[in-house]
Structure 1
């Protein structure tokens, strides 16, 4: 009985994730960017702790985007006319996504800088350039 309930809940959650990916261009962009970032992290040999920072930043953006989608959907369900409070709800949810995305950029810069710096120095030395 509990297993069936868990399976249904998991199905609903996966359905929500699929809906967001299928209908929200920004969600697809975030997922694409996440794949690129994870690939670069793997290519550069980012350490486990640093990789966790990157993963948490990515997941925070995805969660924020999903909440934004949920807020927009509920507001649209409630009213199809302009209302200043509807605009506020949508703008605040979008602001949360923006903050999460900016956070992920800062995390990415802080995590990737030493790896990229070492990578550039390695290639410069191997090409007979600067030490």
Structure 2
């Protein structure tokens, strides 16, 4: 194994994270993740609930990064408008939206019962 090449890959990954930080949707997802983590800290989640939230947050951020990568590759391959390029970008964005909806449902299933118990 080439150790220099291995550590260089971390540099590329960090550069990718730096680039995606310029994306509005990614920054929004980070803000929501921060709010969820703070809410979880005050709610008293179980270890399993924390593991689920960390997985959901990680998958959401990763999907947003994949969506951004797909959009950039499509823009490179098809600088002019093309129905297939639009479809690829729309489908990629749709995948993010589907998981975002699932994330909200998961959040409701985790937080709502605990918050209701505080009021009962």
Task: Judge same fold: TM > 0.5, yes or no.
Answer: yes
Unaligned runs of 5+ in 1: 122-131
State the partner residue of 1:76: 75
Q: CA RMSD in A?
A: 1.2
Q: Tell me the distance in 2 between the aligned counterparts of 1:26 and 1:120.
A: 34
* C-alpha displacement of 1:2: 3.3
Calculate the TM-score normalised by the size of structure 2: 0.94
Q: Deviations over 1:4-36 (max 9, x none)?
A: 2221111111111111012x1000000000000
Structure of higher CA gyration radius: 1
Q: Which residue of 1 aligns with 2:8?
A: 8
Pairs aligned (count): 120
| 1:66 counterpart residue number | 65
Does the CA-based 8 Å contact 1:20-1:66 persist in structure 2? yes
Q: What are structure 2's unaligned runs of at least 5 residues?
A: none
- CA deviations over 1:33-74 (Å, ceiling 9, x no partner): 000000100111111101111111111111111111001000
Give SS of 1:72's match. Answer: helix
Paired residue for 2:35?
Answer: 36
Aligned equivalents of 2:4 and 2:30: distance in 1?
30
Q: TM-score, normalised by structure 1?
A: 0.86
Moved over 3 A (4+): none
How far, CA to CA, are the matches of 2:8 and 2:72 in structure 1?
22
